[in-house]
Amino acid sequence: MKKIVIHGGRPLKGEVTINGAKNSVVALIPAVILADDIVTLDGVPDISDVDSLIDIMIAMGASVTRSEDSLTIDPRGIQNVPMPYGKINSLRASYYFYGSLLGRYGEATVGLPGGCDLGPRPIDLHLKAFEAMGAKMTMDGNYMNLSTGGQQLKGASIYMDTVSVGATINTMLAAVKAKGRTIIENAAREPEIIDVATLLNNMGAHIRGAGTDIITIEGVPHLHGTRHQVIPDRIEAGTYIALAAAIGQGIQINNVLYEHLESFIAKLEEMGVRMTVSEDSIFVEEQQNLRAINIKTSPYPGFATDLQQPITPLLLTANGHGKITDTIYEKRVNHVAELAKMAGKISTSSDQIVYEGPNQLQGAQVKATDLRAGAALVIAGLMAQGKTEITNIEFILRGYSNIIEKLTSLGADIQLIEE
């Protein structure tokens, strides 16, 4: 069993560099299946989700070489083998293999996706899009078979009933080699969608409108190899910005795209957080007398649900009371009980998180219930007086590259212990 042990209350200072976006790279790697030649991805984070995806690609016959933060994938040896179990079930992003395998072979047999338990996250929008393009779905136990019956996928007009990042990307993956034109309406607009579309276009796809709510894709017969730089991880950046505001004595966060964090930074400014925004970095000063605020998550460009939990420990330092409403994932409140164990004045009421501050958190034994909740507990542990032990840290390692080393370089007393 692995756990993180933190001796908190130490002020942090220095600088930290953000890695490539987890939520991009978990789609970019399956997208390489569609290429007819070698693809190199630069800026790939060192996280367990990437390790799992590499294992899956190798099991399918790809040749994969990793050098520092670059990943070179030769997809020419890939075979369309069924993948019902194993690594597929360990991460949510495994559903991107549906779209990429359908796009290349017209068939996919893949286990149901795993990942964090954040409440119902159905894939019906993905299936609706695939069926509109001519694929049929059958279930066999815990895995799904999608097939076109030997026919080529056909372009279609697809309206997303709700805004979905996963369904938008999966539809793009399936559509880039489909016959004719595919139009996605009410598409998600996240930066990660633009990143995936950029990779596919650099491989020879014809995608227009990524980043807007209407995406148009003209199918092409072949996609070639390319080299692609993964965008910075806006969620990792937001996590370190929140940490810097909560306990920093001057921390610079490098490799940040401000445009991807505007709604998050606007909320920090509403709290009174002092920072200096540069072209590709943000310097966060030591803070005093922050104000409590209300937060409501919404699809991009609104306040990201993935940053709701990492900002919560910072909110506990503010004067006054406020509430958080997560409109995306109903179960994204599991960090609340753990923060309460650390003497935080925080609870849930009518599907909202309510808090009061300022608080002096105390070290405790807590459990990470999902990836971003784990990040919140790390920040809380760094803020708290005394010793904090965090278990279930596999969630944290899924999404934060070299987190122990980065925090240690800022002056944190933090260790990863394996028992």
Is 207 labelled a binding residue?
no
Other Cβ atoms closer than 10 A to 304: 24
Tokens of 238: 């937001």
Specify whether 158 is catalytic.
no
Cβ–Cβ under 8 Å, residues 150 and 134 = no
Between helix 96-105 and helix 165-175 the angle, nearest 10°, is 10
Cβ–Cβ under 8 Å, residues 253 and 282 = yes
The identity of residue 398, as a single letter, is R
Is 92 labelled a binding residue?
yes
Say how many CA atoms lie within 13 Å of 212 toward its Cβ.
8
DSSP H stretches of helix in 83-178: 96-105, 124-132, 165-175
Is 66 labelled a binding residue?
no
Is 314 labelled a binding residue?
no
For the chain, how are helix, strand and coil distributed in percent, rounded to 5? Answer: 35, 30, 35
Is 125 labelled a binding residue?
yes
Please list the residues that pair with 252 across neighbouring strands: 15, 283
Instruction: Tell me which DSSP letter residue 239 carries.
Output: H
Is 154 labelled a binding residue?
no
Peptide bond into 221 cis (omega under 30): no
Is 123 labelled a binding residue?
yes
Strand 63-67 to 39-42 pairing: unpaired
83-96 burial, b for 16+ CB within 10 Å, e for fewer? bbeebbbbbbbbbb
Tokens of 322: 């406020």
Say how far apart CA 93 and CA 115 lie, in whole Å: 8
Instruction: Tell me which DSSP letter residue 68 carries.
Output: T
Tokens of 17: 């560099």
The single residue of 29, 33, 57, 116 carrying the catalytic annotation is 116
Is 353 labelled a binding residue?
no
In the three-class reduction of DSSP (H, G, I as helix; E, B as strand; rest coil), residue 326 is classed as: coil
Please list the residues that pair with 66 across neighbouring strands: 71
Which single residue is written with the structure tokens 């595919």?
Answer: 182
Question: DSSP letters of 159-211?
Answer: E-SS--HHHHHHHHHHHTTSBSEEEEES----HHHHHHHHHHHHTT-EEE-BT
Which residues are marked as active site?
116
Annotated binding site for UDP-N-acetyl-alpha-D-glucosamine: 92, 121-125, 306, 328
Annotated binding site: 22-23, 92, 121-125, 306, 328
Annotated binding site for phosphoenolpyruvate: 22-23
